[in-house]
Chains A and B, each alone.
Chain A
Amino acid sequence: MYTSVISSPALGSLLAICCFPLLILLHSWGFRLKKPESKGLLALLAASIFYISCIYFLLVKILLTSHPVHLGGGFLSALLLIFGYMELYSMILRGFSLQLLSSLYRSPGLNFTQILASYAGGRGIDWLWEKRLRDLQKLRLLERHSTALSAQTPRGVWAGRLANYYKKLFYMGKGG
């Protein structure tokens, strides 16, 4: 039984799945240590490096295999899980729909105007705008003046153009 698992081509992927809870635990622990948002990605990067190192250590030092199917399958599966986890993490941290759902779970039976005011624990929808504008400014995608917004930086212009072009190409509607 033990030998058949070791010689299985699925070994790397299985190890990546088994070690995955380690990534979540390390990241949530690191996230709690640092200030949320600003250091969240840094904590995730550190947890990911540790997670991949664990898979490598288990494969090469404990199970004594360096076969390309085991190593490649393990690393690619680990990267797949990391990027999937990143999507989930980003939804929890910034998900607009999830936040609307949470607001309505806390206070059921709100109408449209009340939802606008009660968004994100009563901070209101303007708080979301403020947060997004602050992030775009930080990333230098947008410049904020006293009465206007502008996308003067090349990367801001290219990001906006790419988004518009892709939406048009795939008939995705306005988005956002």
Chain B
Amino acid sequence: MLDSTLGELAGFVVSQFLLFYMAHFLIWRFISVGKKGVFLISFIALLTFTILSFLGIWHGWLGSSADLWLAGPGFFLLVMLYLHFYTAIDRSVSLRLLGELVRRHPPQLNFSELQQVYASEEMVASRLQLLVQKGFLTQEGSQGFYYCSAKGRILARITFCLQALYGIKEAG
């Protein structure tokens, strides 16, 4: 059933991942910050996998289509690990704070300086803007009141259900 050796399959998976990473790197240089996100990365990964798997079978780099049942989970596992890394760099409040600290020599900030470089208001404003942009929130009225959209309400309900499942009381 396994028509390629494990070494060949590992090589194929690593090559797929490297090509995905190069495509991601190139695309990220040309699109705006607002368009960058995990959904686009996932789409690039899926596209890379589909094209290369097709070429792999067609050109004989893979022994047979059955080998894809080993190569597929391997490739998507690497993509998933990368997504963890990417999300942490892009969204983590803690990493942003550490990033601001190491820009200084010595790497130190007092609380008023911290408020200047990474204010709580900025942190919340950027997330609200992102949620409005992605259609989870709407902003109405002259004072800018925020409301959940239908999509936002569904996501909030799912969050409540999952938090109830784990008994989480202090999320955030």
Contacts and interface: CB of A to CB of B under 8 A. Distances in A.
B120 A116 contact: yes
A104 B146 contact: yes
Interface string A130-167: 01110110000110000111111000110111111011
User: Most A CB atoms within 10 A — which of B33, B100, B166, B172?
Assistant: B172
Nearest to A129: B120
A81 to B, nearest CB: 9
Contact of B98 (A68, A95, A142): A142
A36 B102 contact: no
Contact of B94 (A9, A83, A136, A174): A136
Contacts of B171: 92-95, 98-99, 102, 120
A113 to B, nearest CB: 9
Contacts of B96: 163, 174-176
B169 interface: yes
A109 to B, nearest CB: 5
Given A68-B6, A152-B107, A120 B170 contact: yes
Interface of B, helix, strand, loop or mixed by DSSP: helix
B39 interface: no
Contact of B87 (A87, A127, A167): A87
Interface in B29-88: 29, 33, 36, 66-67, 69-70, 72-74, 76-77, 80-81, 83-84, 87
B19 interface: no
A95 B166 CA distance: 15
Instruction: Classify chain B: how many residues form its interface, as a range.
Output: 35 or more
A83 B78 CA distance: 10
A98 B145 CA distance: 18
Contacts, number: 261
Contacts of A163: 89, 92, 95-96, 98-99
A86 interface: yes
A32 B118 contact: no
Interface of A: 7, 9-10, 12-13, 28, 31-32, 36-37, 40, 67-69, 72-73, 76-77, 79-80, 83-84, 86-89, 92-102, 104-105, 108-112, 115-116, 119-120, 123, 125-129, 131-133, 135-136, 141-142, 147-152, 156-157, 159-164, 166-167, 170-176
Interface of B: 1-2, 6, 25, 28-29, 33, 36, 66-67, 69-70, 72-74, 76-77, 80-81, 83-84, 87, 89-103, 106-111, 114, 118, 120-121, 123-128, 130-131, 136-137, 143-148, 152-153, 155-157, 159-160, 162-163, 165-172
Given A68-B6, A105-B148, A115-B128, 20 more contacts: A12-B69, A36-B170, A72-B6, A79-B77, A80-B77, A97-B136, A98-B156, A101-B137, A101-B156, A104-B147, A105-B160, A108-B147, A112-B128, A132-B97, A135-B94, A149-B110, A151-B98, A156-B107, A161-B99, A175-B92
